Amino acid sequence: MYELMQISEQCYYINCPAKIGVYVPDKDNVYLIDSGNDKDAGRKVRQLLDKNGWHLKAILNTHSNADHIGGNRYLQSQTGCRIYSCGIEAAFTKYPLLEPSFLYGGYPCKDLRHKFLMAQESDVTDFSHEEFPKEIEVIPLPGHFFHMAGFRMPDGVVFLADCISSRETLEKYAVSFIYDVGAYLETLDKVERMEAPMFVPAHAQASPDIRGLVRYNRDKVQEVAERILSICREPVHFEKILQEVFTGYGLTMNFEQYVLAGSTVRSYLSWLKDTGRLSVTFQDNMLLWQKI
């Protein structure tokens, strides 16, 4: 874990729970793609950089989930590096209480205010800043989160953030976190058409060919959608839908899974309603979902 893996002359990734990309434009400086899940991850990254004699110029955050920005604060305080982000992702990075608040749908209780859902705050700079490395292409990859982005390096290597999950993850958990299902499917279509010498997803193996995995992720989305529609044959409230999803996939409920999977199921419900497959009614002051 936290082993430095070289994938091209200028690109590496640090093998950890959410892969951290490393771009080396010259012998002295590096840019990171994300920073790991906490201060300890940041410390391990710093040790790798020091071992190679590299100065950290900046961190390029793909999105603001805590497991991708958790090392920001430590690395910024230790090196003075810039942290680049954009849009809503920048707001969540600057004000990380937004993540558990968004997931829960209100002020999060202490059970949700921890490093896995809420990183420490860090100062951010927009991708449009004049010092952003112009040789790096920013690739919008919305769907998993609000304004998630990937990056194409000068040698063609593409860091894909969280737009695809590994087969093992999907077989185990089935319901991967998605904020906007429609945008996520469009991102999968975009990624499937991409060409690159190497793709580096944050939560799957790096590979020069990811089309099969993209299709598997797309099929899983459709499978989850069909399961939800089946649950909604008769009018049903949200908590029952979530219970049936967890039971059907053999998942175990806890507070973190309740908000992560719960937010995702709500996103599926919105998408299915907007695409004309679900309707809503109110009975006895309760919102009920039903298949059309």
pLDDT digits (tens, 9 = 90+) for 192-236: 999 999 999 999 999 999 999 999 999 999 999 999 999 999 999
What is the pLDDT at residue 185?
98
- Write out pLDDT tens, residues 256-277: 999 999 999 999 999 999 999 9
In 10 A of CB 78, how many CB atoms?
13
Residue span(s) of the chain under CATH 3.60.15.10 come to 3-222
The chain-wide mean pLDDT, for the chain, equals 98
Per DSSP, the residues of 112-164 read G-STTT-PPP---EETTSTTS-TTSEEEE--SSSTT-EEEE-TTS-EEEEEEE
State the angle between helix axes of 255-274 and 211-231 in degrees (0 to 180), rounded to the nearest 10.
80
Which residue, chain included where needed, has tokens 């309740």? Answer: 258
Query: Yes or no: is domain 3-222 CATH 3.40.50.720?
Result: no
Q: Which CATH class is domain 227-291?
A: mainly alpha
Q: Are 129 and 138 in contact (CB under 8 A)?
A: no
How far is residue 247's CA from residue 93's CA, in Å, rounded to a whole number? 34
In 10 A of CB 235, how many CB atoms?
15
Where residue 1 falls among pLDDT bands split at 50, 70, 90?
A: confident
DSSP run (H or E) holding 98: helix 98-104
